[in-house]
């Protein structure tokens, strides 16, 4: 079972949680990342399982395809950027000028880090049928400015105005087992997919306001985690697609049009009172071990107030949202595909990561028999943007995207990296 190493990740990245992102962005397959998530109508074979099951019966679909495996990492940072993370592993070596510059760049809301790991472990498609399993782990962590100051500069003797701010975190992980079927009905294709969601962990962390011992020149602050382990859910996707002409494909689907999710109510908790020595790189490493060893089942007869406060909102939005996806693909030349798509969440589920809505466009151009080049751009029509690129060399697929979005008084900047292996063959459907 994967758990959030709250303290250990703090030491490694100068954040209480950084060394270790919700909503309606496209599934993180390598091909979709390279086209900025616009390949809804262009998805064929195993890719149709993730976008629209009706695409399984479209012309151009392979007789069979298999993906083993794919992997994608999506990041977002406020107050720092991905390129700074390696140097943060050694923040104790920074000069005072470097420390001051880092702390001065943290906005009032604090330092924020979001990381999503998505692994479509395996997927297989034969004609109109497809099966797959994927794993997702999602983190969102925030660190108050004063806590960052404590980690970087250490405790300043006599200072009693440290505030934790919104130092908190949330993480979740789950497995998705899916199966889909698509077939032609007259001039259109229809499809349905079913999902079984196996929840692994759902957790929240919070650091509480400190107290001060002026005589001992020390500080103490309670760190608390509340978690639920295990959950079960289900979902049904419905899709339709058509090809009005040999060059044009139109596709629309609602993922999780019908769904349900229930997490375990048997909660567990961890707790640790941090002192002056824990707010350092070496101290945080040792504190991580103590924090993990403190895990215990929650006794409903003796629940501390900090548990109640940490657990508030634990189950809020903890399901995969119903998501509308519509797209178009146009074959401009025999080797050039133009794609456009819109995606939007239809309820308050937050587990899928990404933006609540997205409008994107992309292009894929084939070079020779093996090489395909991709590029795309997207926006949430609210100040966020994405630029992407990718390539395919035979079965090997690679995608990368740069994102930026508003976060309070600042902006979140991030990168998405995706790598996949997809083989396909047989006589395409006509």
How long a stretch of residues is the chain?
Answer: 430
* The two structure tokens encoding residue 13: 């990245």
Task: Return the H-helix or E-strand segment holding 290.
Answer: helix 281-293
The answer to whether residues 186 and 218 touch, using CB atoms and an 8 Å cutoff, is: no
What distance in Å separates the CA atoms of residue 338 and residue 317, rounded to the nearest whole number?
Answer: 35
Model confidence over 124-140: pLDDT tens digits? Answer: 999 999 999 999 999 99
What count of other Cβ atoms lies within 10 Å of the Cβ of residue 244? 10
pLDDT of 12: 32
> Given CA atoms 34, 173, 76, 90 in this order, what sign does their dihedral have?
negative
Q: What is the pTM of this model?
A: 0.87
What interhelical angle do 145-153 and 96-104 show, nearest 10? 170
In the block, residue with structure tokens 């229809």: 190
Segment 68-103, tens digit of pLDDT: 888 888 888 888 776 666 666 677 778 888 888 888
Output the pLDDT for position 168: 94
The pLDDT score that the predictor gives to residue 157 is 85
pLDDT value of position 229: 95
- 375, two tokens: 């590029």
Predicted pLDDT at 294: 93
Task: Write the CB contacts of 97 (distance below 8 Å, at least 6 apart in sequence).
Answer: none
Spatial separation of the C-alpha atoms in residues 202 and 196, rounded to whole Å: 17
Side-chain-side CA neighbours of residue 284 (13 Å): 28
Are 82 and 75 spatial neighbours (Cβ–Cβ below 8 Å)?
yes
Q: What is the residue-level pLDDT of the chain in tens, covering all 430 positions? A: 333 333 333 333 333 233 333 333 445 789 999 999 999 999 999 999 989 999 999 988 999 999 988 888 888 888 877 666 666 667 777 888 888 888 888 888 888 888 899 888 899 999 999 999 999 999 999 999 998 888 888 888 888 889 998 899 999 999 999 999 999 998 999 999 999 999 999 999 999 999 998 888 889 999 999 999 999 999 999 999 999 999 999 999 999 999 999 999 999 999 999 988 887 767 777 888 899 999 999 888 888 899 999 999 999 999 999 999 999 999 999 999 999 999 999 999 988 767 889 999 999 999 988 999 999 999 998 899 999 999 999 999 999 999 999 887 788 889 999 999 999 987 566 6
Angle at alpha carbon of residue 261, lines to 114 and 29, rounded to 5°: 45
pLDDT at res. 27: 55
**The pLDDT value given to residue 76:** 87
């Amino acid at each position: 079972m994967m758990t959030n190493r709250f303290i250990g990740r703090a030491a490694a990245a100068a954040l209480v949680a950084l060394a270790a992102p919700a909503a309606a962005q496209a599934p993180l397959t390598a091909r979709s990342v390279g086209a900025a998530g616009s390949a809804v109508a262009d998805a064929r074979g195993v890719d149709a399982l993730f976008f629209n099951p009706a695409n399984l019966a479209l012309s151009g679909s392979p007789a069979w395809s298999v993906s083993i495996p794919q992997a994608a990492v999506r990041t977002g940072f406020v107050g720092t950027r991905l390129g700074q993370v390696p140097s943060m592993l050694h923040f104790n070596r920074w000069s005072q000028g470097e420390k001051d510059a880092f702390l001065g760049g943290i906005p009032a809301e604090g330092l924020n880090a979001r990381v999503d790991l998505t692994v479509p472990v395996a997927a297989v498609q034969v004609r109109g049928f497809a099966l797959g399993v994927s794993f997702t782990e999602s983190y969102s962590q925030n660190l108050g400015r004063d806590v960052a100051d404590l980690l970087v500069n250490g405790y300043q003797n006599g200072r009693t105005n440290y505030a934790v701010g919104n130092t908190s975190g949330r993480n979740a992980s789950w497995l998705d087992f899916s199966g889909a079927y698509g077939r032609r009905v007259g001039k259109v294709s229809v499809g349905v997919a079913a999902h079984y969601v196996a929840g692994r962990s759902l957790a929240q962390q919070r650091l509480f306001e400190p107290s001060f011992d002026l005589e001992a020149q020390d500080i103490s602050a309670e760190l608390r985690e509340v978690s639920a382990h295990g959950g079960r859910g289900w979902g049904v996707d419905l899709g339709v697609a058509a090809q009005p002409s040999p060059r044009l494909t139109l596709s629309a689907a609602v993922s999780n049009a019908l769904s349900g999710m229930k997490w375990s109510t048997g909660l567990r908790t961890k707790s640790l009172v941090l002192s002056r020595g824990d707010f350092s790189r070496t101290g945080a490493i040792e504190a991580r071990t103590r924090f993990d060893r403190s895990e215990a089942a929650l006794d409903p007869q003796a629940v501390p107030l900090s548990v109640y406060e940490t657990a508030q909102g634990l189950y809020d939005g903890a399901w995969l949202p119903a998501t509308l996806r519509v797209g178009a693909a146009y074959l401009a030349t025999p080797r050039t595909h133009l794609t456009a798509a819109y995606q939007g969440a239809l309820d308050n589920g937050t587990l899928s990561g990404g933006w609540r809505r997205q409008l994107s466009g992309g292009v894929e151009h084939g070079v020779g028999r093996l090489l395909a080049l991709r590029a795309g751009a997207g926006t949430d029509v609210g100040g966020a943007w994405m630029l992407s690129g990718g390539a395919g060399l035979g079965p090997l697929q690679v995608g990368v995207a740069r994102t930026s979005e508003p976060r309070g008084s600042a902006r979140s900047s991030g990168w998405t990296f995706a790598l996949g292996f997809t083989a396909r063959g047989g006589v395409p459907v006509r």
